[in-house]
Chains A and B, each alone.
Chain A
């Protein structure tokens, strides 16, 4: 399998914690501009896979390449983020003592060293970009509220907004619609599809309705390895997937 043309290339990745194999010889390839949905039962290793890609966890074995050429196992979290991998966490994590707007300001693409930050003044372009993002995530009205006071769903959206502000090449989105109403779920699906027009995206979700909405290739993980891959219909027809995940 060639790495060129891929945005993300995982081959034979394994990781174990105190002898427990969370990821077991996992291989996964994502083409540039592709959106992929990942499903799988609890503990399948979906979040751990994202940990590996973003440098939080080091794999014991295997290759992890970004953009065909960059070996991610040699870089740390901040480096990887700067190369263009953004991540939304399963448990929404935003800067609670900051306002919604400031959360976006901190995430905004740009230099990441001390002195520019010390003397930073917001440019017009930046302000406009933030307004745009706020409109997209529908938090204009809350822009000056502390993030701590947002509801669970709103925090999810704020995290997606931070991803947008970061403007990465690859977005890793962990369970974006957990705790959302049906309407909000649809809205999120629409937003992600929008984003996917210009970015590569990996979405982890348990909500089958949402995955169907996305209408993209699906990978089902189980016990740290790929169980099945293909269209949602193909995957959900797979006996093993039904066995371990969907249920009869």
Chain B
């Protein structure tokens, strides 16, 4: 059914095209990286593969945020926490794959535990030597946290900025917690010095290419799934909750359930993004929980256009590409640029790139349509209502350009 939905409707084309492009990139880039000699002009250098691979996981994170922010109106300032949790789950797996190749050569305990004089593995590290277990935890840890948190927050009808602030407090609390050595997650330094993933050397070009492909495909798949979700009746409900939460209650829906579900799905996507991120950058540390990181994700999404799915992906790629470029030439000024971006986007481009493009297109279409109806009207007599015999009122005011999903009207209280 979902697949069927995917292929209906015109605006869907963008999602489809993006997914196809991503799939193509997933194949092409690894091939160009591995098969061509470095001298070839089409060779993709290793640093590029790593960099873009990282961006793709960021894009997945932005897409996850878009699902809750763009469609459900939940501005989460704590999505970095889910990303980091997924990353830690993957990191724990990678740590256990090191085996006795660590500095201290302990076959069971990761180096930092030996360093801290721990004698045995804490219980929550059990099972992480198996990939399947780690994979489950990558989904479960962020998902469960989001579910519990969301269940509490949404049930008590915490909304708007209040919710944003407590999500920020959530990631801040986790930041403090993960900095502690006795939490058993490597404290300040986090987890690093990875060797193998699924038996392949994480440093090997083939592995890097594989991880790149996995990131691109995961993003494509996530895009298709979120697109299907937003297009379903449930997706309509998310938007309904975003615009008029209490109204949905009076027709029998439970906004809290709708939100918890979206929040949990989104957290899982963020966790998967984090899990793909860690082997590509080779480290995960508590810094990933920093509130500033989470809020940066928001600006990627805003730049691309929230509520457009494809927009956040473009936004994440653009902003991060810009960041790499900028920090290369003017490192001290990057924060000025980022800060300026926050301001500029909210003031001048509230719908983001894609949203602005859409409304520009819509207004052009409307203008054309108006011109056509005007011509027809001039030719034909005004339509008459058969019941009353009075001329039917024709909407004189030009139709407002379609607000689309991004620029929806301000939420209204039900009165």
Direct contact of A and B (CB under 8 A): yes
> Which A residues are closer than 8 A to B by beta carbons?
47, 54, 56, 76-78, 81-82, 86-87, 89-91, 93-98, 102, 105-107, 112-114, 117-121, 145-146, 148-149, 151, 162, 166, 183
Q: Nearest Cβ distance between residue A191 and chain B, in whole angstroms?
A: 13
**Does B234 reach chain A (CB closer than 8 Å)?**
yes
CB within 8 Å for A117 and B409 given contacts A77-B249, A112-B252: no
Q: How far is the CA of A113 from the CA of B415 in the complex (A)?
A: 25
Q: Once the chains bind, are A146 and B403 in contact (CB under 8 Å)?
A: yes
Q: How far is the CA of A113 from the CA of B254 in the complex (A)?
A: 8
Q: Once the chains bind, are A78 and B234 in contact (CB under 8 Å)?
A: no
Q: Once the chains bind, are A93 and B240 in contact (CB under 8 Å)?
A: no
**Does B237 reach chain A (CB closer than 8 Å)?**
yes
Q: How far is the CA of A119 from the CA of B229 in the complex (A)?
A: 9
- Tell me the count of chain B residues lying within 8 A, CB to CB, of chain A: 40
A-chain residues with CB within 8 Å of residue B243 when the two chains form the complex: 95-97
20 contacts between A and B (CB under 8 A): A76-B249, A77-B246, A89-B414, A93-B413, A96-B243, A96-B244, A96-B403, A96-B412, A97-B409, A106-B240, A106-B248, A112-B252, A112-B253, A117-B232, A117-B237, A118-B229, A119-B2, A119-B232, A120-B233, A146-B402
Q: Once the chains bind, are A119 and B1 in contact (CB under 8 Å)?
A: yes
Q: How far is the CA of A148 from the CA of B407 in the complex (A)?
A: 12
Which B residues, 397 to 415, have Cβ-Cβ distances below 8 Å to chain A? 399-400, 402-405, 408-409, 412-415
CB within 8 Å for A89 and B233 given contacts A106-B240, A107-B251, A112-B254: no
Q: Once the chains bind, are B244 and A93 in contact (CB under 8 Å)?
A: yes
Residue of B nearest to A99 (CB): B236
Q: Nearest Cβ distance between residue A3 and chain B, in whole angstroms?
A: 24
Q: Once the chains bind, are B414 and A93 in contact (CB under 8 Å)?
A: yes
CB within 8 Å for A96 and B408 given contacts A87-B250, A89-B415, A112-B254: yes
CB within 8 Å for A114 and B400 given contacts A54-B250, A106-B251: no
For the A-B complex, the count of residue pairs with Cβ-Cβ distances under 8 Å equals 104
Considering residues B233, B234, B252, B258, which has the most beta carbons from chain A within 10 angstroms of its beta carbon? Answer: B252
A-chain residues with CB within 8 Å of residue B409 when the two chains form the complex: 96-97, 148
B-chain residues with CB within 8 Å of residue A76 when the two chains form the complex: 249
Q: Nearest Cβ distance between residue A178 and chain B, in whole angstroms?
A: 12
A-chain residues with CB within 8 Å of residue B249 when the two chains form the complex: 76-78, 81
Q: Once the chains bind, are B250 and A81 in contact (CB under 8 Å)?
A: yes
A-chain residues with CB within 8 Å of residue B395 when the two chains form the complex: 151
Considering residues B2, B243, B247, which has the most beta carbons from chain A within 10 angstroms of its beta carbon? Answer: B247
Q: How far is the CA of A146 from the CA of B402 in the complex (A)?
A: 8
Q: Once the chains bind, are B252 and A105 in contact (CB under 8 Å)?
A: no
Which B residues, 253 to 267, have Cβ-Cβ distances below 8 Å to chain A? 253-254, 257-258, 261
**Does B390 reach chain A (CB closer than 8 Å)?**
yes
Q: Once the chains bind, are A98 and B258 in contact (CB under 8 Å)?
A: no
Q: Nearest Cβ distance between residue B328 and chain A, in whole angstroms?
A: 41
Q: Nearest Cβ distance between residue B373 and chain A, in whole angstroms?
A: 13
**Does B239 reach chain A (CB closer than 8 Å)?**
yes
Q: Once the chains bind, are B251 and A162 in contact (CB under 8 Å)?
A: yes
A-chain residues with CB within 8 Å of residue B239 when the two chains form the complex: 95, 97-98
CB within 8 Å for A183 and B388 given contacts A119-B232, A148-B400: yes
Q: Once the chains bind, are B415 and A114 in contact (CB under 8 Å)?
A: no
Residue of B nearest to A121 (CB): B1
B-chain residues with CB within 8 Å of residue A106 when the two chains form the complex: 233, 236-237, 240, 248, 251, 253
Q: Nearest Cβ distance between residue A119 and chain B, in whole angstroms?
A: 6
B-chain residues with CB within 8 Å of residue A81 when the two chains form the complex: 249-252
Q: How far is the CA of A117 from the CA of B240 in the complex (A)?
A: 13
Q: How far is the CA of A120 from the CA of B231 in the complex (A)?
A: 11
B247's partner among A82, A93, A118 (CB-CB below 8 A) is A93
Q: Nearest Cβ distance between residue B258 and chain A, in whole angstroms?
A: 7
Q: How far is the CA of A136 from the CA of B402 in the complex (A)?
A: 26
Q: How far is the CA of A145 from the CA of B399 in the complex (A)?
A: 10
A114's partner among B261, B399, B402 (CB-CB below 8 A) is B261
Q: Once the chains bind, are A78 and B232 in contact (CB under 8 Å)?
A: no
A148's partner among B2, B388, B390, B403 (CB-CB below 8 A) is B403
Q: How far is the CA of A112 from the CA of B44 in the complex (A)?
A: 51
Q: How far is the CA of A113 from the CA of B255 in the complex (A)?
A: 10
B-chain residues with CB within 8 Å of residue A118 when the two chains form the complex: 229, 232-234
A-chain residues with CB within 8 Å of residue B250 when the two chains form the complex: 54, 77, 81, 86-87, 89
Q: Once the chains bind, are A114 and B388 in contact (CB under 8 Å)?
A: no
Q: Nearest Cβ distance between residue B235 and chain A, in whole angstroms?
A: 8
Q: How far is the CA of A183 from the CA of B390 in the complex (A)?
A: 10
Q: Once the chains bind, are B234 and A114 in contact (CB under 8 Å)?
A: yes
Q: Once the chains bind, are A97 and B408 in contact (CB under 8 Å)?
A: yes
Q: Once the chains bind, are A149 and B408 in contact (CB under 8 Å)?
A: no
